[in-house]
Structure 1
């Protein structure tokens, strides 16, 4: 019976989602062999970051809460110096730290494009990008995943109707694990003074580029991007994010990005964790170990039907229904292996999959055991 203090549509929505096999639930009982987490380099799981923080000169013990937003009482010399170091590492003029990748995309896409502008986005970009566009003023159109010709067609059709065009892609896509055709896109937009490229590098930092600087670095296009978003909850093993770009971009976001302005800032110990994670990128060989594991995983899965080809840490086996995805996750769980069923509506119906994340700490024996189960 419905509770009179709870709107009926809440019950109806939950019942409908459960009947379709789409109901999301939290769990905390994870199998031991990890092919699920975003901790690609193992900075978090194998304790590299916590050990680094214990002895670091960048350790901050003064306060655990920042006490306010950056514009009130939550700013410090320490965080501003951190942003300078982040900008230097990513070969940018400036950087601005946000509390999460979601906050960064929300703040960027809701504040930069204006009413007279257009956003063209890859159909598989993250939910945070969609939410940012919904909150913004600009019109937006999607283009077929990684289809540069479709993007060109949209530009040619609409360029004269809008003041500026923003193209939004992810360098590595979180569900398929494939990479954006960044070289083709940057070459195409070169003649246009009013087209600006925004790249979300969430799943590329720590995995690609010199010392893990990302795919834009690996391809030599850092200076060709209007804005790049780097998040720290994946390969970096901590929390937070940064938008890097020009000093004008930084000043604009400080003044107009609501997800930056109206939230309590990250505390100094979180900033310290970010800086120490960057030092680990420079000092350790975790990226090389990860790349070796990715190559091994790719070679072992190349003959498996419906496995999406990927050179990143993310690999997906499409199984085309929520029920099949759930079943495979449970079967692997009985072998003490954890890979996550990604179900609709997170992905579109018919594209449900089991997603595998490869890590620096996965052994070849663990990968072999997984492949054996997939063949079975």
Structure 2
């Protein structure tokens, strides 16, 4: 045990020690150690997670005859239920794509997709700032990979040009909305690059965009009218959609490859049908939340301006607003100060973000009021 204790002590000395907090959730507020705070750290972007009317409507449609609370098995064995197919068909139809496939989480999706679709003769080119789950999937793929500079498409183009003809297939991997900086990939440029090089595929993670952007809430790809051009469009149900799980939209060939070769899908007990039914209920209503999306954008634009005045650093174009302070100690102190003022703000430190860019990741939700966000900004 000594070596593990030393590791923990080292993390503490570097102000990088993490712990799981005890929290009580009350709508958009959180209570911790008897202190009630406005939750500025949630991914519940549309504010649906605590919507009692939605929850009541969902439960009433079943009376007392609810879907099963467990699947008890992998979908490839006995764990498949009609609601899974219903949701996949709804997702595919909404995206106007041939197929969709469900996963237990965004992490499961990103961990398993690339190893299932690549060989040792393949190449992966990933944005420097893609999520840890994508990095883990890349490592498990055991093929060649390079990380191009964040949103630097000239660098990406150079890497593509240098590797023409050397690999059997190439995957370009990016998020649409980046989870720590809140900035947005230029999907149009990525699609253009993909088309310039043979056997090149584009894989986009919309975890922080689904529900929030696009006329029907289908993400940045919908907003930019590029859904049909992206080979693998991945998103989660556990953020703006207030549920659990993830999806990929793709063609039928890729779906069948994933069913046959994706280990996190094959060897995991499937999500409970009850949860999948709730996801269906929310996803079906996604186009109806335009007022929430509009209000969220207004709040986000205001907070981005306020933070930019104080830091002169504002990469964000979304409802994820990084308050970049640099050092771990200063970031921890600021987070503690804001919590004392009644705002649940959390420090984000290396290795989650690059060295010397520790920040408070401010995350807005549509159930916040304009006055609440203005009062928060005054405390910065």
Q: Shorter-chain TM-score: which interval? A: over 0.9
Deviations 1:262-287 (A, max 9, x none): 01000111111111111332233322
Tell me which residue corresponds to 1:85: 90
The within-5 A match list for 1:352-367 is 352-367=358-373
Change (3 A) 1:292 1:52: farther
CA contact (8 A) 2:307 2:314 kept: no
CA drift at 1:242: 0.5
Quote the Cα distance in structure 1 between the aligned partners of 2:78 and 2:328: 47
Matches for 1:233-272 after TM superposition, within 5 Å: 233-272=238-277
2:64, 2:250 → 1: CA distance? 27
- Secondary structure at the aligned position of 2:316 is classed as coil
Q: Cα deviation per residue 1:114-135 (whole Å; 9 max; x = unaligned)?
A: 1111000001000000111111
SS state of the match for residue 197, structure 1?
strand
> Which residue does the alignment assign to 1:135?
140
Pick from 275, 283, 306: which aligns with 1:278? 283
Q: Does 1:159 align with 2:153?
A: no
State how far apart, in whole Å, the 2-side matches of 1:372 and 1:242 are. 39
Matched, 1:207 2:212: yes
* SS of residue matched to 2:68: coil
| Conserved? CA contact 1:58–1:272, under 8 Å | no
Q: Is the 8 A contact 2:125 2:173 kept in 1?
A: yes
Aligned-residue RMSD, C-alpha: 1.7
* CA distance in 2: counterparts of 1:290 and 1:131, whole angstroms: 32
After TM superposition, list the pairs within 5 Å mapping 1:76-225 onto structure 2.
76-225=81-230
Return the alpha-carbon distance in structure 2 between the equivalents of residues 145 and 112 of structure 1. Answer: 24
CA distance in 2, matches of 1:317, 1:353: 5
Query: Unpaired segments of 5 or more residues in structure 1?
Result: 1-5
Match of 1:51 among 37, 56, 65: 56
Q: Which residue number corresponds to residue 372 of structure 1?
A: 378
Instruction: Look up the SS of the partner of 2:326 in the other structure.
Output: coil
Cα shift at 1:181: 1.3
Distance 1:145 1:56 in 2: 46
Aligned: 1:321 with 2:327 = yes
* Alignment match, 1:24: 18
Aligned to 1:11: 5
Structure 2 spans left out of the alignment, 5+ residues: 24-29, 31-35
Residue 34 to residue 102, structure 1, CA distance change in 2 (3 Å): same
Which deviates more, 268-277 or 254-263? 268-277
- Paired with 2:63 and 2:275, the residues of 1 have a C-alpha distance of 11
Following superposition of structure 1 onto structure 2, how do residues 267-346 of structure 1 map, counting pairs within 5 Å?
Answer: 267-284=272-289, 285-346=291-352
> 1:33 is paired with a residue of what secondary structure?
strand
Q: Is the 8 A contact 1:306 1:319 kept in 2?
A: no
Alignment size in residue pairs:
368
Structure 1 position 91, deviation (Å): 2.0
How many Å apart are 1:152 and its aligned residue?
0.4
Distance 1:12 1:291 in 2: 45
Distance change >3 Å, CA 47–CA 294, structure 1 → 2: farther
CA contact (8 A) 1:60 1:272 kept: no
The answer to whether the 8 A contact 1:207-1:312 is kept is: no
In structure 2, C-alpha distance between the alignment counterparts of 1:37 and 1:246, rounded to whole Å: 33
Matches of 1:159 and 1:346, distance apart in 2: 32
Question: Secondary structure in 2 aligned to 1:211?
Answer: coil
Taking structure 1 as the reference length, the TM-score comes to: 0.94
Quick one: distance in 2 between partners of 1:212 and 1:233?
Answer: 15
- TM-score, normalised to structure 2's length? 0.93
